[in-house]
Structure formats: C-alpha cells, structure tokens
Structure 1
Amino acid sequence: MADQSFILSAPGKVILHGEHAVVYGKIAIAIGVNLRTFLRLQPCDNGKVTLSLPNTDTHVSWNLHELESLTSAYYQNDLVNPLPLLPEQIEKLRQFSGIPAGDADTRILAVLAFLYLYLSIFAKSRLPSLKIVVWSELPTGAGLGSSAAYSVCMAAALLNAGSVISHCPLDGVETARWNENELDIINKWAFQGEKIIHGNPSGVDNAVGTWGGALKYKAGEITPLKRVPVLRILLTNTKVPRSTKILVAGVRDRLKKFPGIINPVLDSIDAVSCKCEHVLEEIAEHPSLSHYCVLEELFDINQQHLNVLGVGHPSLDRLCQVTLSHGLHSKLTGAGGGGCGITLLRPDTDASVIVAVLQELRDCGYDCWETNIGAPGVSLHVPSALREEILHAVSGL
C-alpha cells in the first residue's frame, strides 16, 4: 500500500446540449466543469478509518476490527472488473451503520458508498488505517455531478492507496493523471459508488469526472470527444428546487399528447447536439470568433426548444434576459424547472461586462461562478500547486 499522503480532485459536469431528448435516444453532450471536488488521503497508525465531509458537516470514524467483520461479503470482488453490486451488501452496511432501510439522505448514501468501496478494494489485503477528507466547490443537488465527482475521487484515492493503480509521479509537475487502463478501472469503481447514491445512473457523470473533457452519450453508449476546447462560462444556480423525475414525466406526457409537434423538437435538439460537437472540434483546431457566434445561436435555439418541452422556468427566463441585455447567451443545463443555467463567454468578453452580469444575477438571489468547461478529469495534485483556501479545506481536518 502507498504510505504517502496525497490530494486529488475530479470535476463536476454540465449538459451542454441534449437534455431530455437523450431519454428518447438522441445525443447529449456532457462536459467537465472546473468546479471540483477535492480529496485528501492520509495513512495513519491509530487503528481507525476516519471520513470527514465538511461541506455537509459529516464526520464518522470506525475501528478497523469492527470493519474486518464485514470483509467476507466483499472478498470475491475483482479489483479490475468489479462484480455487480448486490443489495445484500448494501443492506449489511446499513445494518452495521444503524441506518434504516430506505433512508436516502445524501450524507448517509455518501458514507455507504465509501464503506462499500473501502471494503471491496481492501477485502483481500489488510485493512489500512486512513484519514480521508473530502471537500467540494460543487453545490449538491444542482445537477452538476457532485456525487459522481465524490465517487470518482473516492475510487481513485482508494485504488491508489491500495496500489491497484500506479501512484503517479509528480516530479517537476503540478498535477498528474493515470493511463487509460487505470482511468477505466477508476471509472468502473466510481460507477459502483454512483449506483449506491443514485440507484440506476447512466454512467455519464462518473465518466466525465474520470476523463474530463466532453462526452457524447446516446442510447447508453458513451463516446469521448476527441478534441475539446476549454471554454469560459458563467454557471448560475437559480436555487429553485425541482424534481427531475417530475420534469421527465412532464415531457413524456407532452410527447404523448402532441407527438407531431414534440418529435420534431426532439429531432432538432439532436441536430443541435451534432452541430455543437462539430463546432467544438473546429474550435479546438482553429479557433475563431465566428465559432463562438455559432455556439451562442445553438444556446438560444436549444433554450427555446426546452421551453417548448415544458422544462423552462421563470427563474431561467430571468437568467437569459439579464445576460442577453449584456450581449451574452444562456441556456438551462440539466433537468430544467429551475436548477442551473450556463452562459457562454466569448474570448473577447470584457471583464467589466462579467462583473456587471454577476452582480445582477446575484441581486436576483442566484449563486454564480465564472469558471471553465472542458476541464481535465480526475487528477493528482502537488499540494503547493493548490489554492490556499482549497488546501486548507481538504487538509485542515
């Protein structure tokens, strides 16, 4: 087992295009957003495993001898190709932790996901004493892949600590990544964590968290885009709660009621996703302002389509109005009905415009960030390369 402390991170994600249409076999483009979840793993010799999640004020600890009684349920797992998640494994963890069946609190599910990954990865070896702290820039429950970023970080950290994947050398560099085969192992284990948290996830969020960049998702098949530029955006959380399940059901009802109207809209959203994919590849090779004008038009078209599907919201309309008054273009990202929106920033967007827009949106009661999309996936960091506030957050507990 690696005996050194280390810090790693994974990005969240936004859906650039294809929301809701992806349910009907159309293309969706998911892209990494450079708001990240950070994890610090520190080996220790106190005979305990400690997990701290300061964002949710969750701090738990177990004695190793207590956890050793559970390892027999995980001994058969394959470290390279995880076996299917068994309900009885999760039930055993619930009983061990005193968690009632059916309790779906996010904090509890995060703890269960950790225990499952820890026991599965170390079942065939001696359980290590570890102190793990996880802190995130991502808001939870906003459709930005916060749980997947957590699962990716946890899988990478435990696989790294168990020497299942290589401990990346960092001599002379600020960040390092693993090879493709090792990233595939990380992704498989992260998907297991996502299943515990979400039940039946698509696998898109953890794939973006693992590989970063952008992915095309269609009918269950995930394909990384070959060349992806880093784009500047404003990310806005309207803080309006919504139910993805209810919104998806609403689109389904509208499709049944108006198939001749809604089916062409879904086809058009698919065409927007395809066009976006080509434009992103062109920007990566030969960027020009004309490409950004096309992306802006695609934002406007898709936002109108999503309103037709019935997943818009006055809070999102307000976002689009505020940004358009400054010459910027926005659309919802994710399920809609509130939630989050993204605003494209051209390379020539003046800093004063960004400051003014951020202030107006915050005056609306929204949370806003200026960030990038096309962010790198899970990465190992030299502590000195991290911003001071991040380093303090992940190492101060």
Structure 2
Amino acid sequence: MVKFEVSAPGKVILHGEHSVVYGKPAVAGVVQVRNTLTLEENDDQCMLICFPKIGLDNLHISLEAINKFLAICWEKYGAIEFPEGLNHDVFLEEVKNFVQETVKEGGKDFLDSIKLNSLSAVFYLLLGIFIEGQIRSVRKGIKIDLKTEMSVGAGLGSSASFGVCLAATFYLLARLVKQESYLDDYNGLTEMQQHDIKQKISSWAFQSEKIMHGNPSGLDNTICTFGNVVKFYKGRPPVDIKLTCSLPILLVDSGVSRSTAKLVENVVDLRKRHPKIVDNVLEAMKYLVEDAVDILEHITHISDTENFNKLENLVSMNNNLLRTLGVSHPALEKIFMIAEKYGFHAKLSGAGGGGFAMILLPSWNIQEMKNFRQLKDDLEMNNFQWILTGLGGEGLTFKSL
C-alpha cells in the first residue's frame, strides 16, 4: 500500500507590501512554518479527508461517487491540455456542484465558504491531475490527513501552502499508480528534471489559489513550492535572492482578521486624495526594497553586525512608511511597542490591518538572551501568540513512509 508525506512552507512579505500593487518591487520568502499532508492507501471504498483545522475531520466520500464524476469529466475534458487548456470557471462550477451534492454530513449549513473552497480544491486537483495522467479511476481507498502550523487567513500563505501540498499529493499518487518506484526514482533525477516536476506541481497549486482567492498573482504558490527568498514585480516571474544564511524572525499573531482587498482599496483611496505624498511613499518603498536585496545578497552570517544593523533599520523604516499609508492597527501597534521596549525592530507583514507582525532577531541563540525572554513574556502577558522561525529555506518536500 502506498503511504507518503508532502510538506510545504508558509511565506512572509519582507518588504514591499502595498507598493508592489503599483509596479514597485517586493521581497518575499518562505518561513519554516509548514503544512504537512499525509496520504495512505487502504482497502476501504472511500476517500477519508481529515482536515481538522478547518472543521473537516473524518469526512467520507465514496469511491463510487468520485469515480462516477471522474468518468463524466473524462468524457468532457479527456482530450484537452491540463491545466492550461481547461476553462477554470466552468470546471470549478462543476466540481463545486459535485461537492455540494456529495457531502451530506453536518446539515445544510455545514459547507461554509472555507470548507466548500477547500473540498473544491481537493477534487479539482485530484480529477484534473488524474485526467492529465491518463488515469480513469481511483482504485484504492485513500486517507488524506492535514497537519498545519498556520492559522487560516493570517497572511502566512497558508492557502498557497495547502494548494502546493494537495497538488503534490495527487501528482505523486498519479505517478505511483503507474510506477511504484516513482518516489525512489525521483531522487535520481537531474536538478532540471526535478525543477520541471515542481513547476508542474506549482501550476496546479495556482489553480487551487484561484479557487481560494479569485485572481492571485502566482507568487505565493511559486515561493511555497521552490522555497528560499525572492524579489518580484507584479506580473513578472520572481527572481531568486541568493540568501547565504537563514535569518531568525519572530512572527507574532495580532489575533485580528482582516480583508486584504479592503486594505488595498483604502490605499487606493488615500492616493486619490493625496497623490504626490502617497507616490513619494511608494517610491521610497522601492528604494528600500533595492537596499534590502543588496544587503541580503551580501550578508553571510547574522554576526555580520554592520549589515544586520542595516536590515534592522530597514525593518523600522518600512514599518513607518506602511503606517503612513494607514494600514497599521492598534493590536499591531501594541506588538511594535513591546518589541521596541526590549530593543527589537518590528514591522507588519502582508496587507496589515491585523494578521502577523514580524520581529527581526539578532541570533539563533536568542533563547539565552535576557531581553528576548522579557519580550516573549510581555507578548504572552498581552495574549499574543508567537512563532520562532527563520526566513528562507526549503520549499516543497516529500518522502515515503
């Protein structure tokens, strides 16, 4: 029986929030806060979905129902190029109808938008990848079990990481149906061959992102697949930044949910009222990103005090520019005040208005430092949850179990 595990990281935007909307560069990187999805075949005649973080625990879908729908999709889509040639909206509507007709558990109000979109992503990718792989049925029962270290909708790229895990899981399952040694053989492929496989997985994960967000940039699924740190412009492929050391950061959850679209709209309105001022702020953000990229490419160790101090300055400067755009929040300001009290530099990450704050740390041995212990205690006293992690590192990984 097949059993394997895939894992994909979350991500943060380090610099360039909001200004990227106006054609300026931004810097983003993975953080080692991960989604992990385990697939295990069995002799049951169903798919068992265990996504407890979003309220989908021990959800059974019969293989008969799945294979019946797969046969219908084969008739309609078997001859097209996947996923590029697929009419996304039409196929998604059919998948959503299947989910709503098939999932009867929990009553009529069970399928809220998060559950419906998550299950739609599951079956969109399963069916699409199986048809692309010329596989006409799910032959064995499967259990898919999601473990996550991320909060949904908090700005850490949780949906992209989820989509990468789903796409990789069904891509690998489709290959293992035809070639039992596929996972072992993967390790013997060239770097370029492995890159091409990950690119295909990322392209499928992008379809999941479209289900979750409507019109994503493609950045999040790319970063979560390939890892590391990138510089990017809206509408262009991201460019790797050759980060030679992982930077320790503390991610602090403000506990405040927010609408990215609404915050972007607020900045648009502010720019209409004060175009010269806002344009100069956005231009300053561009130069800040360029400085940050230059430092990141040259810093070889966090003990490089001169460059690390420059990074700290950029964190504070960027946060003040974002405050100027009106995208902070009282909960975030409380986090910033606590960080500054103990000598740390902090900024909001992502759209702002809530979500996560990011605190740059000067050492991986931070637990031994008195001011860090004071920082941690003060955050906890104010009911802020935090995650100690690093910027940069691995993207998608998978292994046999």
Tell me if TM exceeds 0.5. yes
Does the CA contact (< 8 Å) of 2:302 and 2:362 recur in 1?
no
Which deviations, in whole Å up to 9, do the C-alpha atoms of 1:228-247 show, x marking residues without a partner? 23111100010112221221
Q: After alignment, is 85-94 or 314-323 more displaced?
A: 85-94
Match of 1:359 in 2: 377
Could you tell me which amino acid in structure 2 is paired with residue 48 of structure 1?
A: C
Q: May I ask how many residue pairs the two structures share in their alignment?
A: 375
- The structure 1 residue matched to 2:38, chosen from 37, 40, 46, is 40
- The structure 2 residue matched to 1:201, chosen from 212, 216, 223, is 216
SS in 1 for 2:39: strand
Gaps of 5+ in 1: 384-397
SS in 2 for 1:34: strand
Match of 1:78 in 2: 81
Gap change, CA 1:85 and 1:35, over 3 Å in 2: farther
Could you tell me which amino acid in structure 1 is paired with residue 174 of structure 2?
A: G
Match of 2:240 in 1: 225
Does the CA contact (< 8 Å) of 2:329 and 2:352 recur in 1?
yes
Q: Over aligned residues, Cα RMSD in angstroms?
A: 2.5
Measure the CA separation in 2 of the matches of 1:76 and 1:143.
38
Gap change, CA 1:178 and 1:13, over 3 Å in 2: farther
Measure the CA separation in 1 of the matches of 2:86 and 2:315.
39
1:158, CA displacement in angstroms? 0.9
Does the CA contact (< 8 Å) of 1:32 and 1:213 recur in 2?
yes
1:287, CA displacement in angstroms? 6.4
Measure the CA separation in 2 of the matches of 1:69 and 1:108.
20
Could you tell me which amino acid in structure 1 is paired with residue 118 of structure 2?
A: A
The alignment status of 1:246 with 2:256, answered yes or no, reads no
SS in 1 for 2:32: strand
SS in 2 for 1:162: helix
Does the CA contact (< 8 Å) of 1:238 and 1:339 recur in 2?
yes
1:104, CA displacement in angstroms? 6.2
Measure the CA separation in 1 of the matches of 2:242 and 2:172.
28
Q: Counterparts of 1:110-129 in structure 2 under 5 Å?
A: 110-123=118-131, 124-128=134-138, 129=140
Measure the CA separation in 2 of the matches of 1:62 and 1:263.
52
Does the CA contact (< 8 Å) of 2:99 and 2:116 recur in 1?
no
1:289, CA displacement in angstroms? 1.8
Measure the CA separation in 2 of the matches of 1:171 and 1:339.
38
Gap change, CA 1:219 and 1:171, over 3 Å in 2: closer
1:382, CA displacement in angstroms? 6.3
Gap change, CA 1:171 and 1:223, over 3 Å in 2: closer
Could you tell me which amino acid in structure 2 is paired with residue 107 of structure 1?
A: K
1:258, CA displacement in angstroms? 0.8
- The structure 1 residue matched to 2:199, chosen from 154, 170, 184, is 184
Match of 2:319 in 1: 303
Does the CA contact (< 8 Å) of 1:12 and 1:149 recur in 2?
yes
Does the CA contact (< 8 Å) of 1:329 and 1:343 recur in 2?
yes
The alignment status of 1:28 with 2:26, answered yes or no, reads yes
Match of 1:93 in 2: 95
Identity %: 32
1:260, CA displacement in angstroms? 1.1
Measure the CA separation in 2 of the matches of 1:24 and 1:189.
27
Measure the CA separation in 2 of the matches of 1:324 and 1:110.
39
Measure the CA separation in 2 of the matches of 1:138 and 1:198.
18
Measure the CA separation in 2 of the matches of 1:194 and 1:364.
34
Which deviations, in whole Å up to 9, do the C-alpha atoms of 1:20-68 show, x marking residues without a partner? 0011001111110110000001122322222210212303222222122
Measure the CA separation in 1 of the matches of 2:386 and 2:151.
11
The alignment status of 1:105 with 2:113, answered yes or no, reads yes
1:88, CA displacement in angstroms? 2.2
Which deviations, in whole Å up to 9, do the C-alpha atoms of 1:313-343 show, x marking residues without a partner? 1211211111111111000001111211100
Measure the CA separation in 1 of the matches of 2:63 and 2:274.
59
Does the CA contact (< 8 Å) of 1:68 and 1:127 recur in 2?
yes
Gaps of 5+ in 2: 102-107
1:178, CA displacement in angstroms? 7.7
1:78, CA displacement in angstroms? 3.5
Using structure 2 for the length normalisation, give the TM-score: 0.87
Gap change, CA 1:50 and 1:127, over 3 Å in 2: farther
Match of 1:157 in 2: 169
Match of 2:62 in 1: 63
**Displaced runs of 4+ in structure 1, greater than 6 A?**
none
Does the CA contact (< 8 Å) of 1:31 and 1:214 recur in 2?
yes
Does the CA contact (< 8 Å) of 1:177 and 1:378 recur in 2?
no
1:4, CA displacement in angstroms? 2.4
Could you tell me which amino acid in structure 1 is paired with residue 395 of structure 2?
A: G
Q: After alignment, is 104-113 or 276-285 more displaced?
A: 276-285
Measure the CA separation in 1 of the matches of 2:302 and 2:359.
22
Q: After alignment, is 361-370 or 152-161 more displaced?
A: 361-370
Measure the CA separation in 2 of the matches of 1:169 and 1:271.
46
Gap change, CA 1:241 and 1:293, over 3 Å in 2: same
SS in 1 for 2:119: helix
Match of 2:149 in 1: 137
Does the CA contact (< 8 Å) of 1:53 and 1:133 recur in 2?
yes
Gap change, CA 1:77 and 1:138, over 3 Å in 2: farther
Measure the CA separation in 1 of the matches of 2:135 and 2:239.
34
1:87, CA displacement in angstroms? 1.9
Could you tell me which amino acid in structure 1 is paired with residue 391 of structure 2?
A: I
Q: After alignment, is 363-372 or 132-141 more displaced?
A: 363-372
Which deviations, in whole Å up to 9, do the C-alpha atoms of 1:62-111 show, x marking residues without a partner? 222212222233424535x54344322222222222279xx761122111
